[in-house]
Structure 1
Amino acid sequence: MATSPVPREILLEPGGWEDIDAVMAVMDDAFPPCFGERWSKSQIAGVLPLTGVRLLLAHDGGAEAPIVGFALWRTVSDESELLLLAVHTSAQGQGLGRALLEDFAEQAIADGATRLHLEVRDGNPANRLYASEGFDVAGRRRAYYRGVDGERHDALTYVRMVSQ
């Protein structure tokens, strides 16, 4: 599990289908619609059964406590892509995002990944976290995200190479 100190009693555990509604509640809070980053419930439900997909949940105070964050990724062969990482605004800035990111990396590496990658909106505050965890900008997708107001936002792709 994660090695970062999290000042609250946070439990990280695997999630599944039964957790989609709680995941959507975190996503609705963490991803403002103005940027177009948010996934739909059907998108998450569609990716969960794919080979190599993992959902990691963060509970605030134990297994029966509310879910305040999650990470969703897929590992295929020697590559792992972080599809989503979100932390409820009430729990942001306390190390939870870092703990989820570190756990993703640890589990992906344990599954044989030597290349970790992700994409995130340019200007998203999480960019600082990814850079601090050894991810380097590998490219830019112009006008990749489209907000509810029609405004377009670039995405940055990040990669982190790891040795086995």
Structure 2
Amino acid sequence: MSTVPSDEAVRVVPGRSTDLPAVMTIMTTAFEPGFGEGWTRSQCAGILPMTGVSLMLAQDHSRLAPVGFSLFRTVAWEAELLLLAVAPDYQRHGIGRLLLDQFVECTRAAGANRVHLEVRDGNPAVQMYRQAGFTPVGRRSNYYRGSDGRQHDALTLAREL
């Protein structure tokens, strides 16, 4: 198990398509395949060049490697958090919240006045999103399909900026 960095040792930096190997490593360890939440490499590579899409990395300076990431898009006055993941050894140490806060600030600076996201019902991250001011605005039944074929609902959360 890795040593968890102090708050000062982690900073959020812009990512690029060349960071996809590290992103995919985090994705495959952070998202349980049984829930069907993770994206494939081709899905990530396909969306990165699109206008308004941003990849941000939580960089651990003691390891010189990313320990988390967020992927989001901003269009006109709205923004959507597409993915947020933190490597398991670094979860529950504020890194997810650091990425979430940075997403809100980046999109606000880009002119968004509303942000939203979808998350699997039952995902522990729901509590973090609620504490950050996101409120439920909808539900998509059977949105996620896990590797075992089971389906899981998605909660749609939003926050006005």
User: Which band: TM-score by shorter chain?
Assistant: over 0.9
Residue identity over aligned pairs, in percent, reads 53
Paired position in structure 2 for 1:31: 31
In 2, the alpha carbon distance for the partners of 1:8 and 1:147 equals: 36
Which amino acid in 1 is paired with 2:28? Answer: D
Does structure 2 retain, via aligned residues, the 8 Å contact 1:54–1:73?
Answer: yes
Mapped to 2, the partners of 1:131 and 1:122 lie a distance apart of 13
**1:1-164 matched pairs, under 5 angstroms:** 7=7, 9-61=9-61, 65-162=64-161
Amino acid at match of 1:27: M
Q: Tell me how far 1:60 sits from its aligned partner.
A: 1.2
Deviation (angstroms), 1:8: 5.5
Instruction: Work out whether residues 141 and 155 of structure 1, in 8 Å CA contact, stay in contact via their aligned partners in 2.
Output: yes
Query: Structure 1 residue 7: deviation in Å?
Result: 3.3
Gaps spanning 5+ residues in structure 2: where? 1-5
1:141 to partner: Cα distance:
0.3
Contact 1:8–1:60, Cα closer than 8 Å, also in 2 = no
TM-score, with length taken from structure 1: 0.93
Runs (5+) with no aligned partner, structure 1: 1-5
Return the alpha-carbon distance in structure 1 between the equivalents of residues 9 and 52 of structure 2. Answer: 29
For residue 79 of structure 1, report the CA deviation from its aligned partner: 0.3
Superposed structure 1 runs of 4+ greater than 4 Å apart: none
Measured in 1, the distance between the counterparts of 2:98 and 2:42 equals 27
- Contact residue 8 and residue 61 of structure 1 kept, 8 A: no
2:139 partner letter:
R
Name the TM-score, length of structure 2 as normaliser: 0.94
Q: Deviations along 1:43-82, whole A, 9 cap, x unmatched?
A: 00010011000100011126x7111000000000000000
Q: Take 1:11 and 1:102, find their aligned partners in 2: how far apart are those partners?
A: 12
Compute the RMSD of aligned alpha carbons: 1.1
